[in-house]
Chain A
C-alpha cells in the first residue's frame, strides 16, 4: 500500500508569485483534502476534491484553487502569494463515504518572502 506523497518538500517564493503543490493519494483512495498549517496552529481546511470537482471549501480566497486528476492525484495552486501564505500545506486522502478517516502526507513547507 503506497502512502500519500507530496512534492516538493520545501519551496521558497516571492510575494506576488504563483505556486503549485502536488499530492498523490494513497492507493485506493478517491478523495483528496488540502489543509494549511501555520506555525503553532492546527491545520485549517482549504478544500476537498472528489470526482475531479471541488466538494467543500474553507475560508480561503479564490486565489487558492485546486485540481484533481483521473488518477485521483491533486494540485493546489496559490496565486498572488502573500507573506501570510507561508505555512505547511498538508494533503490528506480518503475514501468517499469514509472521508473523515483521512491519511496525511508529509506536507510541503512554503516560505513566501
Chain B
C-alpha cells in the first residue's frame, strides 16, 4: 500500500538555524509531491509542489524541497528559519492515477526567538 513517512515528529530550532524535514514515500511509479503547512490557528496551505522537471523546487517563504527519485524522498529545507515558521508541516503524495492525496503524520516545528 502507498504510504508517506515523515521522520521527525517534533523539531525545535533557534532562529537562524537551518531546517531539513524528511519525507519518504512508497510507490514505484509517477508521483506528484507536496508540502503543506499549517500555522497555528490557520488552515492548511500549500508550501510547494513537484510534478515534473527540475527536482529542486522552490516554494513560498524561502522554503525549498528536493525530489530524489532513487531514494523515494522529498525533503523540505530552509537555510535560516524564523520564529514565524513555527507550524505543523505535512508531506503529501499523489501516486499514479489515484486522485487522493496520501499524507504523512506531520512534523511540528517550534522556532525559538
Which residues of A approach B to under 8 Å, CB–CB? 4, 33, 40-45, 48, 55-56, 58, 90, 92, 99-107
Contacts and interface: CB of A to CB of B under 8 A. Distances in A.
Contacts of B42: 106
The 3 tightest CB contacts between A and B, nearest first, are: A42-B103, A45-B100, A104-B44
A40 B105 CA distance: 7
B94 A100 contact: yes
A41 B102 contact: no
Given A33-B99, A92-B44, A103-B46, 5 more contacts: A45-B101, A100-B94, A101-B46, A104-B43, A104-B44
B103 to A, nearest CB: 3
B43 A100 contact: no
Contacts, number: 53
Contacts of B99: 33, 48, 55-56, 99
Interface of B: 4, 32, 34, 36, 42-46, 49, 51, 90, 92, 94, 98-106
A41 B108 CA distance: 11
Contacts of A106: 42-43
B100 A105 contact: no
A56 B95 CA distance: 13
Given A56-B98, A90-B44, A105-B43, A100 B34 contact: yes
* A interface, over-half SS: loop
B54 to A, nearest CB: 18
Contacts of B100: 33, 45, 48, 56, 58
Contact of A42 (B32, B49, B98, B104): B104
A105 B103 CA distance: 17
B105 A41 contact: yes
- Among A43, A58, A102, A104: residue with most chain B CB under 10 A: A43
Contacts of A100: 32, 34, 49, 51, 94, 101
B103 A43 contact: yes
A104 B98 CA distance: 19
A99 B32 CA distance: 11
A58 B103 CA distance: 12
